[in-house]
Amino acid sequence: MPLSRTFLADLERLVGAGGLVRSHEGRLVYESDMHTFYRGAPDVVALPIRTDQVVAIVRLCRAEHVPIVPRGSGTGLIGGAMAPHGGVMIGMNRMDQILELDLPNRCATVQSGLINLSLTRAVANRGYFFAPDPSSQMVSSIGGNVATNAGGPHCLKYGITTNHVLGLELVTGTGELVRLGGKVADRPGYDLTGVAVGSEGTFGIVTAVTVRLLHAPEAVRTILASFAAIEDASEAVSAIIAAGMIPAALEMLDEMMIRAINEGSGAGYPKDAAAVLLIELDGPVGEVMAQGQRAAQICWERGALEVRVARDDVERALLWKGRKEAAGAVGRLAPTYLLQDAVVPRSKLPAIMREMIAIGARHRVRIANVFHAGDGNLHPLILYDDRDPEELERAKAANEELLHACITMGGTVTGEHGVGLDKAKNLPLQYADADLNFMYRLRRAFDPDAMMNPGKLLPSHPACGEGFRPARPRVPEGAWI
Amino acid sequence: MTSAFRGAGAPDVDEIRKCVHCGICLPACPTYRVLGEEMDSPRGRIYLMRAAAEGRVELSETFQRHLDLCLGCRACETACPSGVRFGSLLEATRAQLRRHGPPPKHRLLEAFAFALFPEPARLGAALAAFRLYRASGLRALVRATGLLRLAPALGAMDALLDEVPRPVPLPELVPAHGRVQGRVGLLTGCVQRQLYPQVNRDTARLLALAGYEVVIPRAQGCCGALELHAGRVDAYSARARALAAAFPDDLDFVVTNAAGCGSAMKEYGHGLPEIASFGGRVRDVMELLAGAELPLGRIDLTVTYHDACHLAHGQRVRQEPRELLRRIPGLKLVELADSDLCCGSAGVYNLLEPGMAGELLELKIARIVETGAQVVAAANPGCLLQIAGGCRQRGLDVTLVHPVELLARAVDAHTR
């Protein structure tokens, strides 16, 4: 059912004609986030610049029972920022101001549309940084990071987004503006900030975020180690952790991924290696030097072909540029891919890598790997060509099998990308009915009419007792739900 | 669903499909920075092309609008991890729009621009008339009447131009100085030769000092870049072939000092295999000078460097101009924030889309003011015109030069 003319006129009054995208062509480009497998165009996109506009839009939508989908930069990997049921998409990217920098108290309050890296850039010359560093950080918004509780390479040592969020300004599904948490830690009562981080827009829309800023470490050492076999690299990861070190980051890339990245950013990863480890240590100089030597030694003992230390900041930046652009470079390998985000206990890494090779062979699909080895968070990219329906089926089968293998080994369905539309169906693998029902009820407390980002995070089928029904079920052409 | 693209020269679907929708291009895109709308971002534009190829959208006016608004700066190509050649996709899509799309929005203005800029003789005559217009006091009259406000494009043009220099005749052959490194041709360009003749003169002089014999064919015309970027493929092809034919075959390199021209010429081989080897020999002047020993004297100046899009993104030449400028004793080079964000010039874009061009110019000038530099160096005539016009309008005491002008001054300082 298309939106009524009066509704659109009301919306236009709130954000102006320049704040609305109504054309077919304009709406179409908002139909997917980075996971283009899922498509669902909104009926209209609103691009507010102020919090009061967001409040008014939510109230208007609530009165008319129109679903709302929040969107940041649209870089998510789970089909979170797309509109399977149409409705109003609220793009937060124009709300990108730093509202307050409070360096003595090491925190900042920013509008949720601010690009993650922009915050670090704004405070870097004063010796601070914002720790959560999803690979998309040069474009993804802090609001989007909060929504998915994003992780990143350096979360191994520093923790994920939730560990760095002190407070939120949230417009709930009822159109109320509430402040959760705040600058001062240890506030009385419920930790609602913790509850809301990772809620993927199903509680409402985050308009501002108060985040922790950290002092930049005294020294950083980035080591690149290459291996002839992916198992050797996996063994080295386990050994480094077992030795009592907590590197700032511990990343692995396989041969296929190395090739794609080298073609692109020219990161200069070794060409003939089956796997590359990127090990970063930071902290006081003495500690970093000592741990760097120990880590290098472990790599040699596990049969490394090459171990080298980035000579300077330029080389270090290039090594990281390659790593962070990995998912974006996959276009060099295949036009489409399925991306897993499953986690296994670190000790199972060698086993799951062997299993993955077997699964790829069984289903005749190529699987490229780039992942956070340090915390066992896998990102296998199962490559396929979507013009070949039979290959798509094989890719999907491999994807499911891989997910089940991870869970069998004691892992989880998603590490850091979130659930979205993509993993909602997998949640029952992880949670009992009682757990899911409790989550439904929690969601209702924030969004009683179930109009915030419907179809995402929680499974939409009523198999779990208390079914969740979107306000206006409608499946647009091309949607996969 | 049938494709909205028809016939030969449709955008390459495999190239479109290399885009994996990661969005890393978004912050690099000038129009996305200004508008914050997905359909005015590279990812959005590629998605629209894909939708057109899949028959999900028509080549509608809205579609055209989002493609028109693209500056073709190719900053997205620098950003793209998958190496999508956005420039080629844009050119092919514009060619499709020209053949099968709605009528262009600025038909008359465009016709005017394309009748003038790629024709050095006509441009020269027009500029001579402008010199008269300025000297006679007619300009003051026109400005006072507010006539220019009625025609924003003419207003934009009036604001761009200040002094029009007299032509500087160049010889057909400039002998190499000292040991001969090679024999090169020099493209004198259309706007460059009329508005910045001293840049061509300095280029030839520096190349000779660097040991190159410089051939400057009189008969050379336009390289076709403006037409290529607008999707006027036939006119582009004719000009490109004629240009290649105007240069002798025995040249080691063909040198340009205008980023837009150089970028198009280096890529001749993409659509015109018969002149691919000519394209393969094209170099920006700074690529050649970077490897040469130049006798440079002292100039005490604070300079900042603006990356012309078609040099930084189109030709991936970023370090050479900076290294050359740093070699000049006394010259202090300060980095410009967002140095590779388009200034809004973009060929004839500032005439066709004065609104967006003005927004980008504003951003550029704010960054320039932050540097405190007295001089801004940029290696493309369009950027020089656009940024100089903006500085003049704001009463800023900032001089715009091509890097070769600074190098030539340093050579003068050395001999003095």
The string of pLDDT tens digits covering residues A199-227 is 999 999 999 999 999 999 999 999 999 99
Residue at a domain's end among B235, B261, B290: B290
CA of B122 vs chain A CAs: smallest distance (Å): 40
* Of A109, A55, A47, A108, residue with least CA distance to A74: A47
Q: Would an 8 Å CB–CB cutoff place B57 in contact with chain A?
A: yes
Q: Would an 8 Å CB–CB cutoff place A330 in contact with chain B?
A: yes
CA of B64 vs chain A CAs: smallest distance (Å): 10
Q: Would an 8 Å CB–CB cutoff place A135 in contact with chain B?
A: no
* CA dist., res. A158 & res. A143, Å (int): 19
CB contact under 8 A, A337 and B20: yes
In a domain, B51, yes or no: yes
Q: Would an 8 Å CB–CB cutoff place A139 in contact with chain B?
A: yes
> CATH code at B377?
3.40.50.1860
* Cβ neighbours of A389 (radius 10 Å): 10
Per-residue pLDDT band for A256 (boundaries 50, 70, 90) equals very high
Q: Would an 8 Å CB–CB cutoff place A332 in contact with chain B?
A: yes
pLDDT at A462 over 80: no
Residue at a domain's end among B251, B266, B290: B290
Q: Considering only alpha carbons, which residue of chain A is nearest residue B28?
A: A139
Tokens 């004063």, located at residue: A126
Per-residue pLDDT band for A477 (boundaries 50, 70, 90) equals very low
- B140 and B72 fall within a common domain: no
Please give the structure tokens belonging to residue A470: 């979107």
CB contact under 8 A, A26 and B26: no
- Measured between CB atoms, which of B17, B20, B60 is closest to A25? B60
For B70-134, the three-class secondary structure string (H helix, E strand, C coil) is CCCCCHHHHHCCCCCCHHHHHHHHHHHHHHHCCCCCCHHHHHHHHHHCCCHHHHHHHHHHHHHHH
Write out chain A residues lying below 8 Å of B102, CB-based: none
- Measured between CB atoms, which of B14, B39, B84 is closest to A29? B39
Residue A481's pLDDT is: 35
CA-based radius of gyration for chain B: 21
In chain B, which among 59-88 make CB contacts under 8 A with chain A? Answer: 60, 62-63, 66, 80-84
CB contact under 8 A, A328 and B20: yes
- Measured between CB atoms, which of A75, A139, A263 is closest to B83? A263
CA of A141 vs chain B CAs: smallest distance (Å): 11
Write out chain A residues lying below 8 Å of B89, CB-based: none
Q: Considering only alpha carbons, which residue of chain A is nearest residue B81?
A: A329
The predicted complex's ipTM stands at: 0.93
- B127 and B96 fall within a common domain: no
- State how far the alpha carbon of B271 is from the alpha carbons of A37, B161, B238, B276, B297, in Å: 33, 34, 12, 9, 44
Q: Could you list the mean pLDDT of each consecutive 10-residue stretch along chain B, which spans 416 residues? A: 89 95 97 98 98 96 97 97 96 94 82 83 82 76 68 69 82 94 96 93 97 96 93 94 97 98 96 96 98 95 98 97 98 98 94 95 98 97 96 95 98 90
Q: Considering only alpha carbons, which residue of chain B is nearest residue A139?
A: B24
Residue B149's pLDDT is: 65
Q: Would an 8 Å CB–CB cutoff place A329 in contact with chain B?
A: yes
In a domain, B168, yes or no: no
Q: Compute the half-sphere exposure of residue A82: CA atoms within 13 Å on the CB side of its CA.
A: 29
pLDDT tens column, A107-150:
999 999 999 999 999 999 999 999 999 999 999 999 999 999 99
- Measured between CB atoms, which of B20, B23, B24 is closest to A330? B20
Q: Would an 8 Å CB–CB cutoff place A301 in contact with chain B?
A: no
- Measured between CB atoms, which of B23, B27, B51 is closest to A28? B51
In a domain, B2, yes or no: no
CA of B294 vs chain A CAs: smallest distance (Å): 28
Write out chain B residues lying below 8 Å of A49, CB-based: none
Write out chain B residues lying below 8 Å of A32, CB-based: 21
- B305 and B401 fall within a common domain: yes
Residue B124's pLDDT is: 83
In a domain, B50, yes or no: yes
Q: Considering only alpha carbons, which residue of chain B is nearest residue A113?
A: B36
Relative to beta strand A366-371, strand A380-384 is: antiparallel
- B120 and B150 fall within a common domain: yes
Q: Considering only alpha carbons, which residue of chain B is nearest residue A326?
A: B81
Write out chain A residues lying below 8 Å of B44, CB-based: 29
pLDDT tens column, A194-203:
999 999 999 9
Q: Would an 8 Å CB–CB cutoff place B298 in contact with chain A?
A: no
Q: Considering only alpha carbons, which residue of chain B is nearest residue A28?
A: B48
Beta strands in A340-460 (DSSP E): 366-371, 380-384
Residue A164's pLDDT is: 97
Domain around B118: 107-160
Report which residue type is found at B41.
S
CB contact under 8 A, A331 and B63: no
Q: Would an 8 Å CB–CB cutoff place B38 in contact with chain A?
A: yes
Q: Considering only alpha carbons, which residue of chain A is nearest residue B62?
A: A25
Task: Report residue A208: phi and psi, to 5°.
Answer: -145, 150
- B327 and B404 fall within a common domain: yes
In a domain, B4, yes or no: no
Residue at a domain's end among B79, B100, B121: B100
pLDDT tens column, A287-318:
999 999 999 999 999 999 999 999 999 999 99
In a domain, B230, yes or no: yes
Q: Which residues, 6 or more positions from A386, have their beta carbon under 8 angstroms from its beta carbon?
A: A335, A336, A392
- B306 and B285 fall within a common domain: no
CA of A334 vs chain B CAs: smallest distance (Å): 7
Write out chain B residues lying below 8 Å of A138, CB-based: 24, 27
Residue A7's pLDDT is: 97
Q: Would an 8 Å CB–CB cutoff place A266 in contact with chain B?
A: no
- B329 and B259 fall within a common domain: no
Supply the DSSP string of A318-334, one letter for each residue.
Answer: HHHHHHHTTGGGGGGT-
* CA dist., res. A199 & res. A418, Å (int): 9
Residue B16's pLDDT is: 97
In a domain, B250, yes or no: yes
In a domain, B154, yes or no: yes
Q: Would an 8 Å CB–CB cutoff place A390 in contact with chain B?
A: no
| Best residue of A23, A25, A78 to probe chain B, by most B CBs closer than 10 Å | A25
> CATH code at B60?
1.10.1060.10
Write out chain A residues lying below 8 Å of B38, CB-based: 21, 26, 29-30, 45, 74, 91
* Of B384, B380, B379, residue with least CA distance to B364: B384
Q: Considering only alpha carbons, which residue of chain A is nearest residue B16?
A: A335
pLDDT at A377 over 80: yes
- B177 and B282 fall within a common domain: yes
CB contact under 8 A, B17 and A331: yes
pLDDT at A463 over 50: no
pTM, two decimals, is: 0.93
Tokens 């004691």, located at residue: A410
Return the exposure string of A264-300: e unless at least 16 CB atoms fall within 10 Å of the residue's CB, then b.
bbebebbeebbbbbbbbbbbeeeebeebbeebbebbe
**Contact at 8 Å (CB) between A159 and A131?**
yes
- B334 and B402 fall within a common domain: yes
Please give the structure tokens belonging to residue B8: 């030969």
Residue B150's pLDDT is: 60
- B264 and B325 fall within a common domain: no
Q: Would an 8 Å CB–CB cutoff place B27 in contact with chain A?
A: yes
Write out chain A residues lying below 8 Å of B40, CB-based: none
Q: Which residues, 6 or more positions from A8, have their beta carbon under 8 angstroms from its beta carbon?
A: A20, A22, A44
- B141 and B189 fall within a common domain: no
pLDDT tens column, A316-357:
999 999 999 998 999 999 999 998 898 999 888 889 999 999
Domains along chain A? Answer: 98-215 (3.30.465.10), 218-332 (3.30.70.2190), 334-419 (3.30.70.2740)
Stretch A7-34: mean pLDDT, rounded?
A: 97
Taking the CA atoms of B117, B217, B410 and B340 in sequence, report the sign of the dihedral they define.
positive
pLDDT at A241 over 60: yes
- B211 and B247 fall within a common domain: yes
Structural domains counted in chain B = 4
- State how far the alpha carbon of A379 is from the alpha carbons of A226, A363, B23, in Å: 19, 18, 19
Q: Would an 8 Å CB–CB cutoff place A121 in contact with chain B?
A: no
CB contact under 8 A, B57 and A24: yes
- Measured between CB atoms, which of B19, B36, B63 is closest to A47? B36
Supply the DSSP string of A207-244, one letter for each residue.
Answer: EEEEEE-EEPPSEEEEEEEEESSHHHHHHHHHHHHHTT
Residue A350's pLDDT is: 87
pLDDT at A82 over 80: yes
